[in-house]
Chains A and B, each alone.
Chain A
């Protein structure tokens, strides 16, 4: 009897399931890696949150489709005057926020003042951790309804790239005034989709903005689901619960590639995975040993076997994705353990102990533990005795960011940036040593590199900047303050029916034109 009841119940349960598995055609469901922190673009730092924000908000400028070149968005054109100390933006006419209030010069001023002025009436709606992207802006002034000017202390060439970054997205001032601290849960922008709902740990839903200035989207809704567990995310993709997922584990990527029901996307981005070497003490104070490390690590094998093709080998401090500033004369240090062994022996460091900080995870860190072990094995072959210390990401940052002196000889690190200036400026200059508030945790110092980076930041001529960055790369390549390992290719998988979608080198997810 009991068995019959059970059988009936199970049959009934499965029978009601006929509709399960198919997402309606006008809705796109995206599998995200985590719950967003907030939907206030100025308050967040994670790419995961940016993926939602870029579809609900616009900035003054944006990255061109398929590149990292800056093109007009809410601003139709701009002038840079006074030796790069004045930026004048002419705004698009007639654009309205989703709440119906007008987008104008006052709105732009409100956005930047809220982030940058400490006693602004709405400064307490923060904190705004990335506001330093715009710290060069001394004053924002309204010229007329559709013209706004940024006045800078010093010339700051990365400003345009930073404005295209999600931290530069423009929020409706009315929404900030109405919702105050809760504005992160009530986002109002000008973007192709409008905010509809946010259910904690279930979904964020955006709906079509029929009046979008750049053409209304075809999809009626986009649903972002936070699925933190990678296995569950893959299971949802395979069972039809989501249409598109990002950051597919390498193990599963091959499987998706072989199945015609899915499309796989890959796009190299402005990401660098490297080892910070401690130049202050120990073996890596010797340039020869640092170069030897670069020869000793089998990067091809790391990329192919550990990362299973989800990255390419890095050839210097600047990722290839910054095509205009990338020095294509540099090629990766070749794998040459014999040469490395000899160099280490000649320098007198054979058999020395090396402490290596490895993280368990962390943004952009790829597969840090297996990568750390593989590197350890490679270095053992050339006569270095590597001791790994593994830490959880936040603890790891707490150890690495204050500098490696007295603690470790090398540490894993990865950065994802939006301008060729960012990483070297924050992590390679003498002025960026940890005690001066930078991220140069290995204490690299080369006056020539400092000069080149300072000059590049001041120049508003793109060709001149490119020349300076390329020269910087050659010097850093030779000095080898880091072991240059890999540039990550962002990946995504979608159902085969998804159209007009591609990944962007900026790692941002743009869904305005996507449809099923």
Chain B
């Protein structure tokens, strides 16, 4: 087990290096340079040269990459030239809101997804299964940005029940009730698609498990039905569900980019969108590396979890 974790963790190094290179190259390839974004209509060649020199953008590409990665290894993410502050400060400030939103959404999708899937599987082809299947499919097919706007339209604009955007009321006490009010709509929106996917996967895998011989044996032995379902069927189904949960974590993190824009959630997703439009290279690179690291970490955890449930899995 320990060897597995160690081996699997070592794999993170090339993955992270690859990610850093890809991000760097993509940022270098998109047209429009940061000096232009800073100067806007006032970008004369002299002003551009001056700014490029101050930002170190006049150096060669490999040199810029090595500088960046070298500093990164020392924990220095550089300075955001659009926000004029250290990238690490900005990311730290934005990380918590994103993790909170993604975490709550993930929790919602795991709890409701598995419950719905389980329920559907037990009542296969009965009317509750059909209704739940219908809802899961609607969930999977609804574009979340649209759902977000509709929620705002009804719950904020029409009925004035929930705040339309933001994380806290600006003149409030920033208490947890305040936070709860603000997180309900973005978290539900973000969780919907993932819940649909998880419930469908759970249903399929549960049906598969329930058809196995050992389930028949367990039932024949006279074990209580609830124990058959939770201890025997679900545990085996989980081996296949857990990787899907890992993928949903990635989906939720990625989805945060547009959900944060719709709900003006002060997270890392919205920061990235803005940083890309302003060509704030270091901020984009830093942000992507951090998000990618979290994603890779979640995958590592899923793999470890999966292995602990099913010891047959080897690297």
Given contacts A200-B266, A200-B271, A238-B157, 13 further A-B contacts (CB under 8 A): A35-B83, A45-B40, A127-B51, A201-B270, A202-B166, A205-B170, A229-B261, A231-B149, A241-B164, A394-B33, A397-B41, A397-B43, A439-B41
Contacts of B167 in A (CB 8 A): 202
The total number of A-B Cβ pairs within 8 Å is 156
Is B223 an interface position by the 8 A CB rule? no
Size bracket of the A interface: 35 or more
Is A341 an interface position by the 8 A CB rule? no
Interchain nearest-CB distance for B108 vs A (Å):
13
Contacts of B41 in A (CB 8 A): 363, 397, 415, 439
Contacts of A232 in B (CB 8 A): 152, 164-165, 262-264
* C-alpha gap A340/B160 in the complex (Å): 54
Contacts of B181 in A (CB 8 A): 13, 16-17, 20
* C-alpha gap A416/B22 in the complex (Å): 38
Is B46 an interface position by the 8 A CB rule? yes
Q: Select A239's contact among B33, B46, B163, beta carbons within 8 Å.
A: B163
* C-alpha gap A129/B40 in the complex (Å): 10
* C-alpha gap A437/B79 in the complex (Å): 28
Closest Cβ neighbor of A35 among chain B residues: B274
Q: Which of B182-220 contact A (CB under 8 A)?
A: 184
Interchain nearest-CB distance for B90 vs A (Å):
6
Main secondary structure of the interface of B (DSSP, over half): helix
Main secondary structure of the interface of A (DSSP, over half): loop
Is A29 an interface position by the 8 A CB rule? yes
> Are B177 and A16 within 8 A (Cβ)?
yes
Interchain nearest-CB distance for A434 vs B (Å):
8
* C-alpha gap A363/B46 in the complex (Å): 22
Is A487 an interface position by the 8 A CB rule? no
Q: Which of A399-416 contact B (CB under 8 A)?
A: 401, 415
Binds B, one of A181-189, A280-288, A377-385, A446-454: A181-189
Q: Chain A interface (Cβ within 8 Å of chain B)? A: 13-14, 16-17, 20-21, 23-24, 27, 29, 34-35, 37-38, 40, 43, 45-46, 126-127, 129-130, 132, 181-182, 184-185, 199-203, 205, 221, 223, 225-229, 231-232, 235-236, 238-241, 363, 391-395, 397-398, 401, 415, 437-439
> Are A24 and B90 within 8 A (Cβ)?
no
| 8 A-B pairs in the complex with CB atoms less than 8 angstroms apart | A24-B171, A45-B42, A129-B38, A132-B47, A185-B84, A199-B266, A239-B164, A394-B33
**When A23-B171, A397-B32, A439-B41 are in contact, do A182 and B85 touch as well, CB less than 8 Å?**
yes
Contacts of B36 in A (CB 8 A): 394, 397-398, 401
Q: Which of B260-314 contact A (CB under 8 A)?
A: 261-264, 266, 270-271, 273-274, 277, 279
* C-alpha gap A126/B161 in the complex (Å): 45
> Are A437 and B45 within 8 A (Cβ)?
yes
> Are A40 and B84 within 8 A (Cβ)?
yes
Contacts of A24 in B (CB 8 A): 171
* C-alpha gap A392/B30 in the complex (Å): 11
Contacts of B33 in A (CB 8 A): 394, 398
> Are B160 and A240 within 8 A (Cβ)?
yes
* C-alpha gap A225/B170 in the complex (Å): 9
- Lowest 8 CB-CB distances: which A-B pairs, in order? A394-B32, A201-B266, A239-B156, A395-B31, A395-B32, A235-B164, A437-B44, A38-B84
Interchain nearest-CB distance for A184 vs B (Å):
5
Closest Cβ neighbor of A199 among chain B residues: B266
> Are A392 and B149 within 8 A (Cβ)?
no
* C-alpha gap A401/B177 in the complex (Å): 51
Contacts of A227 in B (CB 8 A): 165, 264
Contacts of B261 in A (CB 8 A): 228-229
Contacts of A126 in B (CB 8 A): 54
Contacts of A437 in B (CB 8 A): 44-46
Is B63 an interface position by the 8 A CB rule? no
**B 237-258 to A, binary, CB cutoff 8 A, 1 in contact else 0:** 0000000000000000000000
> Are A21 and B160 within 8 A (Cβ)?
yes
> Are B37 and A394 within 8 A (Cβ)?
yes
* C-alpha gap A130/B271 in the complex (Å): 25
